[in-house]
């Protein structure tokens, strides 16, 4: 069931009053943390900032790189940042354990998770079930790894027969390229292009995205603490509005977006990151759901699936309810969210 705007507003995230959306009178500083180092999809924020869209909407943006969605979630909860871009799956366990610092998804950017099982042809793994008995690598606690049991269940993998190898996040893709593990779990558009950057031939990369192989759940989103949203509903709505305008710019002007990111990181590879963006666009953003309902569209059944599989993965006995984790009250009208 796709939730209507009215039904979501009626359910609402507990304690959040609907914002009155008015033109901002002055710029206010806002601290924004990404999920990782600058990548192509982050151009929606950098280009919007360069074009003055955040400023026009009353926001003086400070955007910092992240060090993983889990780290961004913790920093948001601590108050170090006002708004973050993080994988919404990280919030299920966190909210269950920290109800006083509850985080709320206010704009679901990636309609499909980018989590994937990734290998190279030389491994001989021709289908997901073939990873049984093989060396599967990922950092401990990494989101794609934590979701693997749920993916294994829907794709016929004997999860008990998988031999896990743990490593630091920055070593995962190198270890796959060097043959130290047979496969890895991770974000498709991260690992794929990291392998390309390491000299791996693209025809040798084999991947099974979770969302395209039976586990269709949401990915990264714009997130903020519930109490911050209570105090700053106008700023939250303006941030979402600016981000959607930035996404439209990124779709229309990818080269300009890559250049805007290059200004912020001298080592940013514009050509590679544009290709990473195109994969993100095609696999996680311009989905049938988004084409029909606009960017940020929410579906309660899919949200509840995400909550359930994460609760099972992390052993959460008191998972949050859908209406406490997701809201569309800060989104502009559907007509303004259509991406063509």
For 260-311, what is each residue's pLDDT tens digit? 999 999 999 999 999 999 999 999 999 999 999 999 999 999 999 999 999 9
Does residue 1 register a pLDDT over 60?
no
pLDDT of residue 26: 79
Does residue 318 register a pLDDT over 90?
yes
Does residue 17 register a pLDDT over 60?
no
Average pLDDT over residues 318-331: 97
Cα 241 to Cα 224: distance, rounded to the nearest angstrom? 15
Average pLDDT over residues 160-183: 96
pLDDT of residue 51: 98
Average pLDDT over residues 144-160: 92
pTM over 0.85: yes
Tokens found for residue 328? 């569309």
For the chain, give the mean pLDDT. Answer: 92
Cα 83 to Cα 75: distance, rounded to the nearest angstrom? 10
* Core vs surface per residue 305-337: b (16+ CB within 10 A) or e: bbbebbbebbebeebbebbbbbbbbbbbeeeeb
Cα 241 to Cα 23: distance, rounded to the nearest angstrom? 12
**CA–CA distances in Å: residue 120 to residues 11, 53, 103, 161:** 46, 42, 37, 20
């Amino acid at each position: 069931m796709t939730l209507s705007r009215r039904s979501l507003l009626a359910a609402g995230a507990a304690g959040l009053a609907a914002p009155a959306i008015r033109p901002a009178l002055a710029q206010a500083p806002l601290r924004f943390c990404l999920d990782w180092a600058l990548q192509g999809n982050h151009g929606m924020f950098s280009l919007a900032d360069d074009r003055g869209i955040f400023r026009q909407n009353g926001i003086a943006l400070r955007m910092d790189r992240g060090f993983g969605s889990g780290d961004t979630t913790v920093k948001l909860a601590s108050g170090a940042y006002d708004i973050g871009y993080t994988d919404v799956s990280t919030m299920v366990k966190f909210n269950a354990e920290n109800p006083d610092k509850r985080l709320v998804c206010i704009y679901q950017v990636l309609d499909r998770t980018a989590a994937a099982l990734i290998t190279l042809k030389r491994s001989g793994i021709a289908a997901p079930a073939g990873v049984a008995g093989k060396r599967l690598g990922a950092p401990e606690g990494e989101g794609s790894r934590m979701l693997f049991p749920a993916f294994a269940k829907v794709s016929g993998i004997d999860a008990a027969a998988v031999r896990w190898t743990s490593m630091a996040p920055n070593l995962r893709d190198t270890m796959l390229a060097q043959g130290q593990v047979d496969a890895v779990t991770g974000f498709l558009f991260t690992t794929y292009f990291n392998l390309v950057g390491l000299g791996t031939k693209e025809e040798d990369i084999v991947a099974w995205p979770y969302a395209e192989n039976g586990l269709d759940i949401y990915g990264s989103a714009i997130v903020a603490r519930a109490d911050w949203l209570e105090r700053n509903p106008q700023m939250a709505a303006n941030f979402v509005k600016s981000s959607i305008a930035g996404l439209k710019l990124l779709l229309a002007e990818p080269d300009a977006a890559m250049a805007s990111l290059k200004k912020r990181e001298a080592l940013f590879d514009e050509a590679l990151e544009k290709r990473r963006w195109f994969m993100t666009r095609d696999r996680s953003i311009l989905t049938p759901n988004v084409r029909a309902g606009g960017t940020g569209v929410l579906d309660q059944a899919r949200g509840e699936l995400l909550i359930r599989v994460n609760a099972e993965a992390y052993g959460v006995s008191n998972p949050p309810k859908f209406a406490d984790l997701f809201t569309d009250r800060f989104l502009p009208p559907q007509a303004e969210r259509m991406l063509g």
